[in-house]
Structure 1
């Protein structure tokens, strides 16, 4: 088929438990397509559906960018009053969406009980309500309430979207399909940056209300069209709707083909879904305490939490929410200039992250992380030195431009190693029985670090200026050291073979899972001995 089918099976980076159970080889069942995927109408429809679903991830990018650029608008500063000038209150505005997202975690059951699409509908509808409040408010407290509601809706939609992508994507395309999900963060960021640039000269509060209201545009577009998307076949099977699941799989994976081999592929997928769901009933009896009780799981817990930590504490938090303060520190204070820089940076990040998503998944995980952090460390050291010289010499243009160049170089290395790759690595590190629980820990750790960044970064930048960058130079150096000495390589292994890397013994969860698999094998092949 296409180059997608040549990817290593171990590079599956679904954000949910994979649809194909890891101990079975899918290769003999794969349809024999004789043209590139984009020449098949059913694949074009499938990835249009995937695009519609990925719009969900643009919510985060739009929100981060809009708070960033608003801090350069005098009209927004005036409307917020003390909520802008007080760093603690500004941190609360920045973190409000994160608090709302955390509050949405208990609603994760909607995706499993009523479907992935319903979770997206509910989440995006709530988000639109929050946007209306945010855009209509005329004070910091109202703006804050709107952002809390936006975060609640965002969190609910995020539960269903990556799962739906991983569960409708063609199996050998899934790593790239799910990898591109996170790159759409920058799609929202680009729109927010340039819309605000276009409204910057409006003298009234409309200069920030218009882009604020447009935060609902992509969610409304998604709500208008997502009815076209199929529901997850995995969800349908879990509800006993086997025929509907079969129809979705045929529609998405083989189209109108009547080839017996292709039809058998669909039946193979159905069998694997049913098998995975049976095994999940067992995994639901596992405990979060296993991450502390089992030695190999303690290492997995460390890798999960540390990876989540470095994703948000590698210096990116400075630019994501407080680019205006970074630019102020090197003498670039003009509103128009700051908005132009932010808009160009978002376009640049979009291109780099998409290129990384297309190619990085097939490379060695640990090697890419080491390359990424080494590059970020060198760039951040140069960034800090140039910022110090810039402040000491009265902000000469040459040094200011040098710092600006370092910001762009930094994001090149960041996007290579920390945009989509962590999701690949963590789903390979976590065992089947504890994957869902591990991903919950992963997300909660990220949220905790984002909250810390939201409150501490503006205070650090305001009080220490360029000296605050030394904190991140030390942090990146420490993170690189930990990755070099303690991160195992996971590429080149199947998901089950990764267990050997951790020296897994036979614990009760593994023993029970093996027993359940044997019982299922016996049901499917009663003529064989278990």
Structure 2
């Protein structure tokens, strides 16, 4: 407790020192919106500092490729006879345990993931998680039996659990305010990048007659995490993390370098002043009013609302029917009479490319739409497509799997994923980072990840058993889930569109950072000690 108090005292001291060294007596008006300080008139690709920043963000989004690669790879491996022979032809709960191996690893990392991210920084956590993932991938490729393969997947899941917590946080905290919604939403688009790579790798290696038909895809699962380990050290640390550790000068340098291109003009200084003051003042207010405990999500009224939204959003991402296709596409295709190995792999690969394109388009345009609207449109369309999917599957089975009805089910699967990607691919990460204040962001995303893991365990064990026993009738369960989601989102979800990360507290009834500090005379931060670095890149 004393350590926590000392840390809070240090934060207050650092914030106060900004005022003490101010070079102007004019109070800074934090009551204005940040849009009044953003001055860039051209598109982002015309600025070298934005090109650099968005390259760094792309590197961070690659964290989500691992989960997509994993699901798509396991889909493909189930269609390979060599893998089936090596694993002992797993079915029902045995297959479910294997699919859940990475989930078990993710659950095991929960007690330490947020602590690592908050204690040593987002970059270190990503590097550590990616290193563990590489080790797990090597062991997975070297597996000799079911148990070896299972343990390696647990290790992969442990590493991915760390990176999947820290990467979206760092993206949200380094992104330029105008581009933050798109930058955050695009994180999960790379899920489909990983899935597409895995789908076509397994399609190509099916021609190998030895065990390397499944070992090669297993080894390659560590390729992108290895790339992240090598380049993560060039990615800047979060300015919010830097301020929370008392490194205010480093945070200033980041904002000048990556948000203004080291522009020394008055308008650039005002933008940096605004961003820095928002961060500092939000941290001061949050640190003084909370010790940032997990129990805050239960004891504080506004945080109970956040907890519900976190957990329900996480559950929606996995209990909306997508789990059937993500890990058990071959079972779905078998249920409509498509059993040929080559054709199943082709459908898997084409579906992943389709999802990658659709989700990317949506991520780059999501900033135009309100969050709640996208959720509602997505769920309504998913529900309609799932109902039609269920009806066609039932008729298809009754009529002996005619090709025309099978094609109809395939069409519904593609339409369903268009709907899913609209609201439940990139948007959830954007939404949950917006509803969480800095001091609880890592812990909140930890809860979000834990909820996803719990629902994935359900998917891993229940889906293969249900598909093996009741086939298309199981789709009715997901129709019911989607109906419940529609009602819940309509009546309980709050809108966060148009707020900065610091301002969104107003939506939950917390005291506004702007309102709290504009009752005081708060001075501009001194910028005279900032060392400007000349940006000579093209």
After TM superposition, the score normalised by the length of structure 1 is 0.86
What is the aligned partner in structure 1 of residue 119 from structure 2? 113
What is the aligned partner in structure 2 of residue 42 from structure 1? 49
Per mean C-alpha deviation after superposition, the further-off stretch among 214-223 and 473-482 is 473-482
Give the length in aligned residue pairs.
Answer: 496
Select which of 419, 422, 425 maps to 2:425: 419
Counterparts of residues 435-474 of structure 1 (less than 5 Å): 437-474=443-480
Shift of 1:290: 5.0
Structure 2 residues without counterparts, runs of 5 or longer: 1-28, 525-538
What is the aligned partner in structure 1 of residue 96 from structure 2? 91
What is the aligned partner in structure 2 of residue 275 from structure 1? 281
What is the aligned partner in structure 1 of residue 81 from structure 2? 74
Counterparts of residues 77-226 of structure 1 (less than 5 Å): 77-82=84-89, 84-85=90-91, 87-108=92-113, 109-226=115-232
Structure 2 CA distance, aligned partners of 1:407 and 1:200?
Answer: 24
Q: Give the 3-state SS of the residue equivalent to 1:104 in structure 2.
A: helix
What is the aligned partner in structure 1 of residue 256 from structure 2? 250
Shift of 1:389: 1.5
Is contact 1:116-1:161 (8 Å) kept?
yes
Is contact 2:73-2:198 (8 Å) kept?
yes
Is contact 1:112-1:235 (8 Å) kept?
yes
What is the aligned partner in structure 2 of residue 25 from structure 1? 33
Is contact 1:64-1:321 (8 Å) kept?
yes
Structure 2 CA distance, aligned partners of 1:433 and 1:164?
Answer: 14
Q: Give the 3-state SS of the residue equivalent to 1:184 in structure 2.
A: helix
Is contact 2:318-2:455 (8 Å) kept?
yes
User: Which has the higher relative contact order, 1 or 2, with Cα contacts under 8 A spaced 6 or more apart?
Assistant: 2
Per mean C-alpha deviation after superposition, the further-off stretch among 355-364 and 378-387 is 355-364
Shift of 1:268: 3.2
Structure 2 CA distance, aligned partners of 1:412 and 1:471?
Answer: 20
Q: Give the 3-state SS of the residue equivalent to 2:291 in structure 1.
A: coil
Per mean C-alpha deviation after superposition, the further-off stretch among 122-131 and 431-440 is 431-440
Offset from partner CA, 1:183-205 (integer Å, 9 cap, x none): 11111111000011011111111
Is contact 1:361-1:424 (8 Å) kept?
no
Shift of 1:41: 1.2
Shift of 1:457: 0.2
Shift of 1:378: 1.3
Q: Does 2:485 match 1:479?
A: yes
- Distance change (3 Å), C-alpha of 1:277 and 1:499: closer
Is contact 1:309-1:446 (8 Å) kept?
yes
- Distance change (3 Å), C-alpha of 1:161 and 1:429: closer
Shift of 1:385: 1.3
What is the aligned partner in structure 1 of residue 531 from structure 2? none
Offset from partner CA, 1:154-213 (integer Å, 9 cap, x none): 111223212221222112111111111111111111100001101111111100000110
Offset from partner CA, 1:348-402 (integer Å, 9 cap, x none): 1111111111223332333322221111111111111111121122211111111
Is contact 2:206-2:213 (8 Å) kept?
yes
Select which of 38, 47, 57 maps to 2:64: 57
What is the aligned partner in structure 2 of residue 507 from structure 1? none
Shift of 1:256: 4.0
- Distance change (3 Å), C-alpha of 1:479 and 1:112: closer
Is contact 1:72-1:324 (8 Å) kept?
yes
Offset from partner CA, 1:103-135 (integer Å, 9 cap, x none): 112223222222221111111111111001110
Per mean C-alpha deviation after superposition, the further-off stretch among 184-193 and 260-269 is 260-269
Structure 2 CA distance, aligned partners of 1:373 and 1:338?
Answer: 27
Shift of 1:426: 3.7
Is contact 2:30-2:274 (8 Å) kept?
no
Is contact 1:275-1:520 (8 Å) kept?
no
Shift of 1:137: 0.5
Q: Give the 3-state SS of the residue equivalent to 2:315 in structure 1.
A: helix
Q: Give the 3-state SS of the residue equivalent to 1:333 in structure 2.
A: coil
Shift of 1:143: 0.4
Structure 2 CA distance, aligned partners of 1:270 and 1:478?
Answer: 42
Offset from partner CA, 1:278-308 (integer Å, 9 cap, x none): 2332354255555445666544433332222
